[in-house]
Amino acid sequence: MKSIEEKIQDLKRERGAIVIAHNYQPDEVQAMADFTGDSLELSRKAAELDEEVIVFCGVHFMAETAAILSPEKTILLPDPFAGCPMADMITADQLRARKAEHPGAVVITYVNSSAAIKAESDLCCTSSNAIKIVASVPSDKEIIFVPDTHLGHYVQKELGREMIIWDGYCPTHSRIREVDVLREKADHPNALVMAHPECPLNIREIADGLLSTGQMCTFAKESDATEFIVATEMGLLYRLRNENPDKKFYAVSDRAVCPNMKKIDLEKVLWALEDMQHRIVVPEPTCSLARKSIEAMLELS
Ligand code: 13P
Ligand code: SF4
């Protein structure tokens, strides 16, 4: 009797498929994936892959981004209900209304958003390149930044550049409390605090580094420090601990779990390959319009 991992490997070969996974995926999904990464790394990977079938272990907007970049490929999301509440905090009508209030403003959209929002945007960004993307806009231009208020305010402060910022947020990162970080700091006085820019201001202010999940992996590897307090979704700890067996990583809160990321499991990956489901397709003209804003980001980063 074959294990579920062996069945997935067999079917991958048969279908000419590759499995890519976000850093917040459950441990066993990350262990089985061919590639893991942050949002920017996954977008880049999806754009350059030769495989015809990509099983995307992440949330809907990530699979949608892959489908936008490679409309000729089959992009499968193992659970079609793995969404992102932050992405749902703005609609295309709301963004059009905001644009009408600020004619000529450049719209910069965090990739944690729907294809319809990306299609209304000039540029996309991720947490790892947001500063670079915003800095690329001429200083005489107004900027509308959507949908994450925390990432927007972080960039605004770093660059000293006023923006019109939407008030969306990530419910998972909002569960990380200052008291949790302070407790971990008191317990581990030599540890550095790595926080995601999706965290609220009181967390960002006491962090040693504000980093995307991919940047946290690089930072932990390259730093001389040996202990780290991790203020982001708990799934990242699997990769950090695996890649740095001699270093210590402390989760800041066991409430920092994204229920949508955890909807994917090995059974659903197997079923995705068996049934070639659930295919993510973005209709035209949304697909081409959204592609322009993602490609503009990829060119700048
Ligand atoms: P990154 O992996 O790009 O840091 O994004 C975090 C996130 O919340 C994705 O949903
Ligand atoms: Fe969305 Fe937050 Fe989950 Fe990322 S961690 S997918 S931003 S809800």
pLDDT digits (tens, 9 = 90+) for 76-85: 999 999 999 9
Q: Whose CA is nearest to atom 1 of ligand 2?
A: 84
Q: Does a structural domain hold residue 221?
A: yes
Q: Does a structural domain hold residue 293?
A: no
Where residue 223 falls among pLDDT bands split at 50, 70, 90? very high
Quick check: CB of 172 below 6 Å from ligand 1?
A: no
Top mutation candidate among 59, 90, 125, 176 for ligand 2, by most atoms within 8 Å of CB: 59
Whether residue 33 is found in the same domain as residue 96: no
Q: Whose CA is nearest to atom 9 of ligand 1?
A: 39
Quick check: CB of 170 below 6 Å from ligand 2?
A: yes
Where residue 46 falls among pLDDT bands split at 50, 70, 90? confident
| pTM of the complete model | 0.97
Q: Whose CA is nearest to atom 6 of ligand 2?
A: 84
Quick check: CB of 85 below 6 Å from ligand 2?
A: yes
Whether residue 74 is found in the same domain as residue 116: no
Whether residue 200 is found in the same domain as residue 244: yes
Measure 98 CA to ligand 1 centroid, in angstroms.
25
Given 169, 188, 212, the domain boundary residue is: 169
For residue 259, pLDDT over 90 is answered with: yes
Mean pLDDT throughout 164-192?
98
CB 85 within 8 A of CB 170: yes
The rounded percent of the chain whose pLDDT value lies above 70 is 100
Quick check: CB of 127 below 6 Å from ligand 2?
A: no
Where residue 203 falls among pLDDT bands split at 50, 70, 90? very high
Q: Please tell me the distance from the alpha carbon of residue 52 to that of residue 36, in angstroms, as a whole number.
A: 18
Could you tell me the CATH number of the domain that includes residue 221?
3.40.50.10800
- Quote the mean pLDDT of the chain: 97
Q: Please tell me the distance from the alpha carbon of residue 207 to that of residue 210, in angstroms, as a whole number.
A: 7
Quick check: CB of 234 below 6 Å from ligand 2?
A: no
Whether residue 111 is found in the same domain as residue 49: no
Ligand that comes closest to the CA of residue 22: 1
Looking up tokens 């049934």 gives 275
CB 294 within 8 A of CB 43: yes
245 burial (CB, 10 Å; 0-12 / 13-18 / 19+) is exposed
For residue 164, pLDDT over 90 is answered with: yes
Q: Please tell me the distance from the alpha carbon of residue 248 to that of residue 198, in angstroms, as a whole number.
A: 23
Whether residue 209 is found in the same domain as residue 186: yes
For residue 43, pLDDT over 90 is answered with: no
Q: Please tell me the distance from the alpha carbon of residue 110 to that of residue 121, in angstroms, as a whole number.
A: 10
Spatial neighbors of 258 by CB under 8 A, at least 6 apart, are 24, 59, 170, 172, 233, 235
Where residue 38 falls among pLDDT bands split at 50, 70, 90? very high
Mean pLDDT throughout 187-207?
98
Give the count of alpha carbons within 13 A of 35, CB side only: 20
Distances (CA, A) of 181 to 23, 205, 217: 21, 11, 19
241 burial (CB, 10 Å; 0-12 / 13-18 / 19+) is middle
Given 120, 151, 169, the domain boundary residue is: 169
Mean pLDDT throughout 146-167?
98
Quick check: CB of 172 below 6 Å from ligand 2?
A: yes
Enclosing domain of residue 221: 172-251
Measure 41 CA to ligand 2 centroid, in angstroms.
16
Spatial neighbors of 141 by CB under 8 A, at least 6 apart, are 104, 105, 106
Spatial neighbors of 100 by CB under 8 A, at least 6 apart, are none
Measure 84 CA to ligand 2 centroid, in angstroms.
5
Whether residue 147 is found in the same domain as residue 123: yes
Q: What angle do CA 177, 180, 181 make, to 5 degrees?
A: 95
Q: What is the pLDDT of residues 48-90, one digit of tens each?
A: 898 999 999 999 999 999 999 999 999 999 999 999 999 999 9
Distances (CA, A) of 150 to 146, 176, 198, 202: 10, 13, 5, 11
Q: Does a structural domain hold residue 135?
A: yes
Q: Please tell me the distance from the alpha carbon of residue 45 to that of residue 35, in angstroms, as a whole number.
A: 9
